[in-house]
Structure 1
Amino acid sequence: MNFKETLLETYPDIFEGLTDHQTHDIINTAASNWLDGFEPTRRSLELSANIYKGTITAQEAVDVIFENTFE
């Protein structure tokens, strides 16, 4: 199983309602980050997907990340 298949099988609900292009963008970014040593989490994938779904803004996602980083 490759990285994309693993994410799609592990978190299918996160990718519901996204286009193939949006899904590809999220998975490609997660893979790039993984190669740089960052392990993608459910929360990080949800934040990315929610930006595409329009339920949060990119700034709101950044705010959530920083809130969780400095707790």
Structure 2
Amino acid sequence: MLDVNLARIRTHRTNIHRYQRLLRTKLSELERRFVEGRLADEQAALDALAAETFPIILPSPNCQSASPGLRSEL
């Protein structure tokens, strides 16, 4: 399942890059709105899939919840 999700993540990233490249070109207002909508859809799908595939969230080193003893060692 991980291999399938990684392939889907790569596909979404490829589509996002394609839409970003398109936005740097000269487009009509209708085309621009369409591409912006597709870009938002792809980004949302990528975010959801990444959260499903990699559910672990690691605290940043600057996290306030770290104990004072641990923060001084970082």
Which of the pair has more CA radius of gyration?
Answer: 2
